[in-house]
């Protein structure tokens, strides 16, 4: 009698475990994305390093930025004898730009809608500075009055967050796409599976 009762219970437990493992496996790239973004925004370098495949990301950045500069030169310097000089300058920009973006600051920029654009001296934005007065960000006792109606917004107002979509592109690849608005340039951050549950940021697609 015990065997008859125990067997269905064992089967039910196995089914529950399989469903739980499958659910966690499916959700694992979303969990990795959330953990990486939180770590990158707070510059938790140890956690960022855990979720980024830097060699693969560097290779992808180099390839994508080279393509970005090549397309730009083709548009701007088509038929211009200065195109060769522009190409040489562009090549000189690739190494420093890749070095700057294959970092926790660069990862934070990529996950916040700020991909490299191939500009001279371009670097990802630094982490937000702590208040000089040592405040913790709590409301002040005498807050500044609100702006008058109709007043223009400050030019320092940060840009709105991009529209983001995420999903699988195959069993071992997970893609997060970013776009700030209709008609704006799209780009993607690409995560690849490492083992059953682990995912790492491994590439970017600046072509959208």
Determine, yes or no, domain membership for 23: yes
Locate the DSSP E strands across the chain: 163-168, 173-179, 187-194, 198-205
First to last CA, the chain: 62
Cα gap 82→180, rounded to integer Å: 33
Determine, yes or no, domain membership for 124: no
SS3 174: strand
Of residues 92 and 201, more confidence is placed in 201
Of residues 168 and 157, more confidence is placed in 168
Determine, yes or no, domain membership for 73: yes
SS3 54: helix
Query: Which pLDDT score, from 0 to 100, does residue 24 have?
Result: 85
Determine, yes or no, domain membership for 130: no
The structure tokens 């007065």 sit at 133
Cβ atoms 203, 193 nearer than 8 A:
no
Residue 189: domain span: 2-116+159-205
Residues in the chain: 208
For the chain, give the percent of residues with pLDDT over 70: 69
Determine, yes or no, domain membership for 165: yes
Residue 66's pLDDT band (cuts 50, 70, 90): confident
The structure tokens 């475990």 sit at 17
Which phi and psi (to 5°) does residue 178 adopt? -125, 140
Domain count across the chain: 1
Calculate the average pLDDT of the chain. 79
Determine, yes or no, domain membership for 47: yes
């Amino acid at each position: 009698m015990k065997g008859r009762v125990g067997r269905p219970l064992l089967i039910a437990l196995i089914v529950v475990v399989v469903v739980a493992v499958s659910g966690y496996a499916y959700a694992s790239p979303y969990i990795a994305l959330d953990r990486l973004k939180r770590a990158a925004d707070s510059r938790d370098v140890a956690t960022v390093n855990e979720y980024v495949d830097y060699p693969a990301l560097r290779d992808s950045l180099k390839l994508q930025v080279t393509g970005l500069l090549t397309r730009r030169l083709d548009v701007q310097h088509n038929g211009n004898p200065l195109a060769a000089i522009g190409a040489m300058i562009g090549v000189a920009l690739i190494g420093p730009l890749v070095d700057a973006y294959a970092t926790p600051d660069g990862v934070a920029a990529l996950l916040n809608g700020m991909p490299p654009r191939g500009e001279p001296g371009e670097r990802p934005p630094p982490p937000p500075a702590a208040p000089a007065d040592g405040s913790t960000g709590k409301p002040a006792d005498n807050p500044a009055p609100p702006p008058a109606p109709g007043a223009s917004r400050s030019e320092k107002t940060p840009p709105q967050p991009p529209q983001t979509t995420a999903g699988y592109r195959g069993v071992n690849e997970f893609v997060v796409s970013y776009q700030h608005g209709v008609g704006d340039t799209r780009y993607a951050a690409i995560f690849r599976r490492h083992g059953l549950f682990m995912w790492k940021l491994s590439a970017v697609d600046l072509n959208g």
